[in-house]
């Protein structure tokens, strides 16, 4: 799967669970209440199943899971791809 | 006698079928003969706990590499089904212990796994999951139990209640608010700073050895944290509850099956107005409801188990399964009690125990209403 396809797959999965909401790739889906905290477990299962990566204890940081963009960066890192600093101008 | 497998027999591998037979032999030989005793004593005989250790069942959710059985979800479900038929209290103790094993196997550090899982798998130690608080059952994320960080130690203050197995469990995964973030710790319940108050004479699950746990400055080490700060509820407890819902689902299916089979025998034997009950249309109507409920319970539990093994965790599927089977178990046990009448209400009848235990199944591992919220919120995903 190409990277833009990965991002779309992530977006589709979240949208599937937050059907009543529209959100940007950078919106914090937990803070905005689109999903509850238990959804984090489903996100873990999804990225492992969809992208063949293993989420480990050290990966459990909210910053890895709280938006489409954050998940995309996380998956890229796990796959060994360079990731742009989101805070860079 | 030919074993009847229902209208839609489950598709099992040879290994799963062999395990299923062994589970059935276990409950026939070791559990059913003591079910009444468990109810009367409001306690679990140590001998059955030991027997389960001998058979390796305490390690059902632990990896084989660490001494467990490493059962797949469907095989584990078959054990749940057998226990649901025989004694829901034993099922409950196995469920809570296994939830802890599963959470540690998935999210525990290598050191935690090496330290705890072999002993949990062998049954040398038993575990509980301490999530519910006096002010929060369904609102489990609203944690009042506080975990204060002090240098490299953590002090726990607060109360957990309705904790299955906690009268005798050796360790627990406790979820509390640490710097306002839900965080899970392994706690040694035998250590100072923890006290237990047994909870007895419940409506159902009378042998499940529930207790209230009070933590008064219990000291935990940093390496006792399971997973990371902030993920104690969503990831650690969430993963554990995924297994818990699945096993309660299978247990409910087993309980419902037991009610159906006893009712089928009853309606053949008992005569009323000159004919067997089985020939009365209103009884046939009740049997039809029961058969439909048992059938759907088994099918939804089966598919939830397959989904969990395919995906690692299957929150949507296990929520659906638990909702369907626990509400079905209540209806089936209700119909069974109606069929048996006064006889079903007698203390020595298993029907009244099934009826009481079925009601408890609608409350544990997420109430019916919580499952409805989980399912309803995502309804447009399915249709």
Alpha-carbon distances of B56 from B17, B32, B61, B69, B183, rounded to whole Å: 18, 19, 10, 7, 30
User: With the C-alpha atoms ordered B81, B86, B88, B94, is the resulting torsion angle positive or negative?
Assistant: negative
DSSP three-state, residue B266: helix
DSSP three-state, residue B366: coil
* ipTM, interface predicted TM-score of the complex: 0.83
Inform me whether the pLDDT recorded for A26 exceeds 70.
yes
CA angle A81, A83, A87 (to 5 degrees): 175
Tens of pLDDT, residues B158-175: 999 999 999 999 999 999
- Burial group, residue B318, by CB count within 10 angstroms (0-12, 13-18, 19+): buried
What is the residue whose two structure tokens read 């919106």? A27
Measured between beta carbons, the chain A residues lying within 8 angstroms of B230 are: 60, 62
Selection from A20, A26, A21 nearest residue A72 by Cα = A26
State whether residue A55 sits within 8 Å of chain B by CB.
Answer: no
Measured between beta carbons, the chain A residues lying within 8 angstroms of B182 are: 37
Question: What is the CB neighbour count within 10 angstroms for residue B130?
Answer: 35
Dist. CA B34–CA B54, nearest whole Å: 18
- How high is the pLDDT of residue B3? 57
Tens of pLDDT, residues B24-57: 999 999 999 999 999 999 999 999 999 999 999 9
- How high is the pLDDT of residue B8? 85
- How high is the pLDDT of residue A32? 84
Contact yes or no for B227 and A42 at CB 8 A: no
State whether residue B269 sits within 8 Å of chain A by CB.
Answer: no
- How high is the pLDDT of residue A88? 53
State whether residue B136 sits within 8 Å of chain A by CB.
Answer: no
Tens of pLDDT, residues B328-383: 999 999 999 999 999 999 999 999 999 999 999 999 999 999 999 988 887 777 77
**Confidence band for A82, pLDDT divided at 50, 70 and 90:** confident
Interface with A, mutate which of B105, B231, B236 (most A CBs under 10 A)? B231
Residues of chain A numbered 6-25 and touching chain B (CB < 8 Å): 16-17, 19
How far A47 CA sits from the closest chain B CA (Å)? 10
- How high is the pLDDT of residue B167? 97
**Confidence band for A86, pLDDT divided at 50, 70 and 90:** low
Tens of pLDDT, residues B107-156: 999 999 999 999 999 999 999 999 999 987 777 778 999 999 998 999 99
Contact yes or no for B234 and A17 at CB 8 A: no
**Confidence band for B4, pLDDT divided at 50, 70 and 90:** low
- How high is the pLDDT of residue B6? 80
Contact yes or no for A38 and B315 at CB 8 A: yes
Inform me whether the pLDDT recorded for B102 exceeds 70.
yes
Tens of pLDDT, residues B184-212: 999 999 999 999 999 999 999 999 999 99
Q: What is the DSSP letter of B224?
A: G
Measured between beta carbons, the chain A residues lying within 8 angstroms of B310 are: 49
- How high is the pLDDT of residue B378? 77
In sequence order, what DSSP letters do the residues of A5-67 get, joined into one string? HHHHHHHHHHHHH-TT----TTS-TTTTTSS-TTHHHHHHHHHHHHH-----GGG--GGGTSS
Dist. CA B48–CA B57, nearest whole Å: 11
Cβ neighbours for B138, distance < 8 A, ≥ 6 positions apart: B366, B367, B369, B370
In this structure, what token pair is assigned to residue B127?
A: 């575990």
Report, as an integer, the average pLDDT of B72-81. Answer: 98
* Pairing verdict, β B211-221 and B181-188: unpaired
In this structure, what token pair is assigned to residue A42?
A: 């489903």
How far A13 CA sits from the closest chain B CA (Å)? 10
* CA B42 and chain centroid, separation: 18
Contact yes or no for B313 and A16 at CB 8 A: no
Dist. CA A28–CA B142, nearest whole Å: 21
Dist. CA B367–CA B356, nearest whole Å: 15
Inform me whether the pLDDT recorded for B94 exceeds 90.
yes
Measured between beta carbons, the chain A residues lying within 8 angstroms of B139 are: none
- Per the CB < 8 A criterion, the answer to whether A61 and B255 are in contact is no
Among candidates A16, A37, A40 on the partner chain, residue whose Cβ is nearest the Cβ of B381 = A16
Interface with B, mutate which of A36, A44, A48, A66 (most B CBs under 10 A)? A44
**Confidence band for A24, pLDDT divided at 50, 70 and 90:** very high
- Per the CB < 8 A criterion, the answer to whether B57 and B94 are in contact is yes
């Amino acid at each position: 799967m190409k990277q833009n396809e990965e991002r779309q797959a992530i977006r589709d999965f979240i949208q599937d669970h937050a059907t009543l909401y529209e959100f940007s790739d950078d919106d914090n889906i937990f803070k905005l209440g689109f999903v509850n905290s238990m959804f984090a477990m489903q996100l873990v299962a999804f990225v492992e199943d969809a992208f063949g990566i293993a989420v480990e204890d050290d990966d459990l940081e909210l910053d890895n899971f709280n938006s489409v963009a954050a998940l995309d960066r996380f998956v890229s890192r796990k796959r060994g791809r360079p990731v742009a600093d989101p805070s860079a101008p | 006698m030919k074993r009847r497998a229902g209208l839609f027999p489950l598709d099992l591998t040879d290994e799963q079928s062999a395990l299923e037979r062994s589970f059935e032999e276990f409950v026939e030989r070791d559990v059913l003969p003591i079910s009444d005793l468990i109810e009367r004593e409001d306690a679990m005989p140590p001998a059955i706990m030991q027997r389960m250790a001998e058979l390796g069942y305490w390690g059902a959710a632990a990896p084989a590499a660490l001494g467990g059985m490493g059962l797949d979800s469907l095989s584990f479900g078959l054990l749940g089904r057998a226990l649901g038929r025989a004694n829901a209290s034993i099922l409950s103790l196995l469920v809570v212990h296994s939830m802890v094993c599963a959470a540690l196997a998935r999210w525990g550090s290598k050191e935690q796994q090496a330290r705890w899982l072999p002993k949990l798998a062998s049954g040398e130690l038993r575990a509980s999951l301490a999530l519910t608080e006096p002010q929060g059952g369904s609102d489990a994320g609203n944690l009042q139990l506080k975990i204060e960080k002090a240098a490299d130690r953590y002090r726990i203050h607060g109360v957990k209640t309705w904790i299955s197995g906690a009268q005798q469990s050796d360790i627990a995964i406790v979820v509390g608010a640490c710097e306002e973030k839900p965080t899970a710790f392994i706690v040694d319940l035998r250590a100072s700073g923890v006290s237990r108050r047994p909870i007895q004479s419940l409506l159902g699950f009378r042998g499940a050895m529930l207790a209230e746990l009070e933590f008064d400055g219990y000291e935990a080490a940093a390496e006792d944290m399971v997973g990371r700060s902030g993920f104690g509820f969503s990831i650690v407890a969430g993963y554990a509850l995924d297994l818990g819902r699945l096993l309660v689902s299978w247990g409910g299916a087993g309980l419902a099956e037991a009610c159906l089979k006893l009712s089928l025998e009853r309606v053949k034997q008992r005569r009323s107005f000159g004919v067997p009950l089985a020939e009365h249309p209103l009884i046939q109507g009740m049997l039809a409801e029961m058969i439909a409920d048992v059938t759907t319970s088994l099918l939804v539990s089966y598919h939830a188990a397959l989904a969990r093994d395919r995906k690692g965790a299957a929150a949507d599927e296990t929520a659906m399964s638990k909702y369907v089977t626990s509400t079905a178990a209540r209806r089936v046990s209700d119909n069974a009690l109606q069929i048996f009448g006064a006889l079903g209400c007698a203390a020595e009848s298993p029907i009244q125990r099934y009826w009481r235990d079925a009601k408890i199944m609608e409350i544990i591992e997420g109430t019916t209403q919580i499952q409805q919220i989980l399912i309803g919120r995502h309804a447009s995903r399915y249709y």
